[in-house]
Structure 1
Amino acid sequence: MSLTARELLHKLAEDAGLTYPTVAKRINRMMKKGSGLIESVQEIAVEHKLKPNKYNINPVKIVAETEKILREDYTQTLMISAVLGQMIESRGKERFPPPAFFAYTEMLFRISDAPRDVKSETSIEIEERTTRIIELMTTLVSVLCEWSEQGVVGVADDCPDILRDIARAIFRKTKLLQGGLWTCISCGNIVESRETRALMCYECDSKLSGSRSIEDRYESLGENDRRSYGRSTE
C-alpha cells in the first residue's frame, strides 16, 4: 500500500497506461470539485477497468512513519522544523501549504515526550528526511480533510476516528488563517497574521530577538504547556 499521494498516483498512472502529469492534473481538478483523494484515484481506476481497492492510503501508517522520523534525533527534528518554517513563509511554488504545516505541528505535539538524543546526521540525510516529511504531510491533509476550490472545508467523512482530532485542528487553524489570524508557534496565542515574525507573535519574537540558535526558535513546537496550540479539543 502506498503511503504518499505521489507514490499512489505513479502506481495508478503506470497501471492505467497514463502519464503522471495527466493523472495528477485530473486528480487536482476532481478534488477542487469536492472529491477526496482516494475517491478520485479509485474513480479513475474503475474507468480503466482496474480494481479500485488496490489504490488506497492508510493515514494511520502515515502518522506512524512520521512519528518514527521525528523521534530519530532531536537536532534533526529541529532542522526539519526550521526548513518547513521557512517554506511556509515563502511565496510561489516553494511555499509549504499551511494545512500541511499544521499537520506537521500536530505530529510534533504527539512526540513531545521523545528523548532528546543528539546524533550526527549528515546534511543529505536531513534533506532526505525533510523531503519525506513534506510528502507525508501533504498526503495526510489530502486524506484527512475535505477539500474544495477554497481549500480545506472540513473533516473527510472517511477520516479514521483516532485521527479526527488532528483533522479538526488542521481545519480550525486553516480557517483562522483564511480569516487573517495565526496561532503563535511559541505561546499559542491567536494574533493577526500580519502581526507575526518568524511564525511568532511580536512578544515571543522579541524575547528571542538577536538569537541565532535554531533550538531557541523551534524547540517550543510540540510542547504540552501551550495554551491554545496543539491538538484541537473541539
Structure 2
Amino acid sequence: MTTPRYVPEVKVTARELIEELAEDIGLPYSTVARRVNRLVAKGNGLLDSVREIAQSTGADPGKYRIDASKIVAEVNKILREDYTQTLMISAVLGQMVEARGPERFPAPAFFAFLELLSTVPEAHRDTKSETSAEIEERTTRIIELMTTLVSVVCEWSKQGVVGVAEDCPDSLKDLARVVFRKTKLLQGGLWTCISCGTIVDVRDTHALMCRDCDQKISGRGDRGYEDFGGRDRTAYGRTETEGS
C-alpha cells in the first residue's frame, strides 16, 4: 500500500509562516523576520524570501506556502460578524492609511481591504456592544491578513507593486489588478475617492475622499462604513444601481 504523500499545512499569515521557518531552522523569530524584511526591501516577494532563507539553511523550501483564498475567507468572516465592529475597523484602517511612520497601514493593503469590504452582503444594523479589546484584536488580525494578502497576490519590486503575481489564484486576480492600478495612481500623486470613485489629486482629499464627498458626508453627520469603497454605497458593498 502506498503511503499518502505528505502535504504541508498551509499557513495564513506572514507572521505564522516566519514563525514556522524560525522554529525549523533554530533561529529567533526576530532574526528571521529581519532577514525576510531585508530581502523584501530588495524587491523579492514574501514567499520567495522565505524560501530563499529556507534553502540557504537546509530546510525544505516547498514546505512554506500561504493560501490567499483562506486569507480572504477569514477576512470575510470577520467583516460579516457585526455591523458596528466592521464600521469601527474600517474607520481605524482609514485613519492608519493616512498616518505617518510605523503606524501607517500600507495603501496597497487598504485598497485590497476596500475591495473585500465592497463584496460583503447587506446586513442589519445591530445593537451589539463590542469591547475595545475585541475591536483592537480583530483590527490587528485584519491588518495582518491584508498585508499578507497583498504580499502574495501582487508582484513586487523595489518600487512597490508592479503587477499581479504569477501564482495569484484566478479568483483574486481582479483584486490584485485593482490594487496595482490604484497603487500606481497613488505613486503618481492621484487618489481614488473611497466614496464616489472619482480620481483626484491626493492633495485635494480629506479623510480619503474628494472634497465634494467629504462636504456631503460632513453635512450629513452619519458616516457609516458603507461610505468606504465607493459609488454611493447603501450598505456594505451594495450601490444604488445594484439595488435597483
Fold shared, TM-score > 0.5 on shorter chain? yes
Give the superposition deviation at 1:211: 5.5
The RMSD of aligned alpha carbons is: 1.8
- When the two structures are superposed, what TM-score results if normalisation uses the length of structure 1? 0.90
Q: What residue in structure 1 maps to residue 133 of structure 2?
A: 124
Deviation at 1:13, TM superposition (A): 1.0
* TM-fit CA distance, 1:223: 5.8
Specify which of 63, 77, 90 is matched with residue 72 of structure 2: 63
Q: Aligned to 1:11, which of 10, 16, 20?
A: 20
Task: Give the partner amino acid of 2:122.
Answer: A
Judged with a 3 Å threshold, the aligned counterparts in structure 2 of structure 1 residues 222 and 177 are, in CA distance, closer, same or farther, namely: closer
- Structure 1: which 5+ runs fail to align? none
Give the match for residue 137 of structure 1.
146
| CA distance in 2: counterparts of 1:117 and 1:195, whole angstroms | 32
Alpha-carbon spacing, 1:41–1:134, altered in 2? closer, same or farther (3 Å): same
1:47 CA drift (Å): 1.9
Aligned-pair CA distance for 1:30: 2.0
How is 1:90-105 mapped onto 2 (pairs within 5 angstroms)?
Answer: 90-105=99-114
Counterpart in the other structure of 2:7: none
Offset, 1:65: 0.3
Is 1:35 the counterpart of 2:44? The answer is yes
1:156 equivalent in structure 2: 165
Q: How far off is 1:217 after superposition? A: 5.0
1:115 equivalent to 2:123? Answer yes
Q: Is the 8 A contact 2:47 2:65 kept in 1?
A: yes
Shift of 1:150: 1.0
1:48 aligns with 2:54: no
How far off its partner does 1:149 sit?
A: 1.3
Greater relative CO, 1 or 2 (CA 8 Å, sep 6+): 1
Report percent identity of matched pairs.
67
- Matching residue of 1:219: 226
User: Which segments of structure 1 move beyond 3 Å, counting only runs of 4 or more?
Assistant: 210-213, 222-226
Q: Which moved more, 1:15-24 or 1:139-148?
A: 15-24
Deviation at 1:87, TM superposition (A): 0.4
Give the match for residue 195 of structure 2: 186
Any stretches of 5+ residues in structure 2 without a counterpart? Answer: 1-9, 238-244
Contact 2:110-2:146 at 8 Å conserved across structures: yes
Structure showing greater Rg:
2
The total of aligned residue pairs comes to 224
